[in-house]
């Protein structure tokens, strides 16, 4: 290593201290503050707030929406990734960029876009309303919004793995007489599953936490069906801070668990890439 005492050991210690301090101040301290605030009224109060009927309903809705959005985007994301890496068609680069588009869209704008399309006067809203199917201001709109904002995750994680993996091994399988489905199951799938799992975890985390887009598509109706994030927001608005803190802590705890899962998955993906 060059000049082992780079910046001198004092300078180095100061830099480490500054970086760790900044991390603690920006990320750790607020997390701990939430924890403290949530249980400041005692564990009993926390538990009551967490199990209030509104909170429980919101958990159910969030879990339901997350499930649907995750399943849809896992399947469609996998297909899109295969199409992007294994097929060749005009406009491929454009499609490749298009997949990332939801990342560039503010959640509020995403919600607005859906209202514009599926709202009472929207291009698809008019025919759908005519057959009595309401999208916006109802749960299908919330599902749609969640699907929109989480669309890129699975594709983005699987595409690089598929590219890295290449087609050589698949072609070997073909030459050995394996059919397409068998090749996918025995050769392609084992190499992409950890990347896929990482993408799915990201999708779940984002689905649980989506707020802005849901706020717009759910409309500002009193007593509307609330996801957990909406419940947190509305609780703050109506000065039900215990409820807001309790639900927030629950969300934070779940995302923390997902983060740990993400870390171990990422390590797995890295190991796989390292061995190839």
**Interacting positions 227-246 with another protein (CB under 8 A):** 229, 232-233, 236, 244-245
In this structure, how many other beta carbons lie within 10 angstroms of the beta carbon of residue 81? 25
6-24 per-residue burial string, b: 16 or more CB within 10 A, e: under 16: eeeeeeeeeeeeeeeeeee
Residues of this chain, 177-236, that bind another protein according to CB under 8 A: 180, 202, 205, 208-212, 215-216, 220, 229, 232-233, 236
Tokens 């564990």 belong to residue: 43
User: Could you tell me the sign of the dihedral formed by the alpha carbons of 77, 107, 24, 15, in that order?
Assistant: positive
What string marks each residue from 144 to 173 as x (binds another protein by CB under 8 A) or -? ---xx--x---------------x--xx--
C-beta of 129: minimal distance to another protein in Å?
A: 16
Which candidate, 76, 265, 276, places its Cα nearest to that of 162?
A: 276
Q: Can you give the C-alpha Rg of the chain in angstroms?
A: 23
Mark the segment that binds another protein (CB under 8 A) among 12-20, 132-140, 156-164, 187-195. 12-20
Task: Tell me: does residue 252 bind another protein (CB under 8 A).
Answer: yes
Task: Tell me: does residue 115 bind another protein (CB under 8 A).
Answer: yes
- Cα 186 from Cα 184, distance rounded (Å): 6
C-beta of 130: minimal distance to another protein in Å?
A: 18
Check residue 166 and give left, alpha or beta (phi > 0: left; psi -120 to 50: alpha).
left
Mark the segment that binds another protein (CB under 8 A) among 48-56, 133-141, 157-165, 260-268. 260-268
Question: How many residues sit close enough to another protein to count as binding (CB under 8 A)?
Answer: 91
Residues of this chain, 70-109, that bind another protein according to CB under 8 A: 76, 79-80, 82-83, 86-89, 95, 97-109
Residues of this chain, 31-70, that bind another protein according to CB under 8 A: 31, 33-34, 36-37
Which candidate, 128, 112, 132, 131, places its Cα nearest to that of 218?
A: 112
- Contact between 245 and 34 (Cβ < 8 Å): yes
Between 53 and 89, whose beta carbon lies closer to another protein?
Answer: 89
Find the binder of another protein among 112, 134, 138, 193 (CB under 8 A).
Answer: 112
Cα 239-250-32 angle, rounded to 5 deg: 85
Find the binder of another protein among 251, 265, 269, 272 (CB under 8 A).
Answer: 251
Instruction: List, in order, residues 6 or more apart from 91 with CB less than 8 Å away.
Output: none
C-beta of 71: minimal distance to another protein in Å?
A: 14
């Amino acid at each position: 290593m060059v000049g082992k005492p780079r910046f001198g050991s004092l300078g180095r210690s100061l830099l480490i201290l500054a970086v760790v301090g900044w991390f603690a101040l920006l990320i750790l301290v607020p997390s701990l503050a939430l924890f403290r605030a949530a249980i400041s009224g005692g564990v009993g109060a926390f538990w009551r707030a967490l199990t209030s009927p509104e909170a429980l309903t919101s958990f159910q809705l969030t879990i339901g929406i997350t499930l649907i959005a995750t399943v849809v985007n896992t399947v469609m994301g996998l297909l899109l990734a295969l199409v992007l890496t294994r097929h060749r068609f005009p406009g491929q680069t454009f499609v490749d960029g298009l997949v990332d588009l939801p990342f560039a869209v503010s959640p509020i704008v995403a919600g607005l876009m859906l209202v514009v399309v599926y709202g009472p006067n929207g291009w698809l809203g008019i025919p759908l309303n005519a057959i009595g199917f309401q999208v916006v201001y109802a749960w299908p709109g919330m599902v749609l919004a969640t699907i929109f904002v989480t669309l890129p995750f699975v594709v983005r994680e699987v595409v690089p793995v598929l590219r890295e993996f290449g087609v050589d091994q698949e072609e070997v399988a073909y030459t050995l007489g394996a059919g397409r489905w068998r090749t996918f199951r025995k050769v392609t799938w084992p190499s992409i599953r950890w990347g896929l799992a990482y993408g799915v975890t990201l999708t779940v985390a984002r689905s649980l936490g989506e707020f802005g887009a849901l706020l717009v598509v759910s409309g500002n109706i009193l007593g509307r069906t609330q996801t957990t994030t909406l419940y947190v927001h509305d609780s703050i608005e109506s000065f039900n801070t215990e409820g807001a803190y309790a639900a927030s802590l629950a969300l934070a705890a779940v995302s923390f668990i997902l983060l740990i899962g993400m870390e171990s998955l990422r390590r797995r993906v890295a190991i796989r890439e390292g061995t190839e």
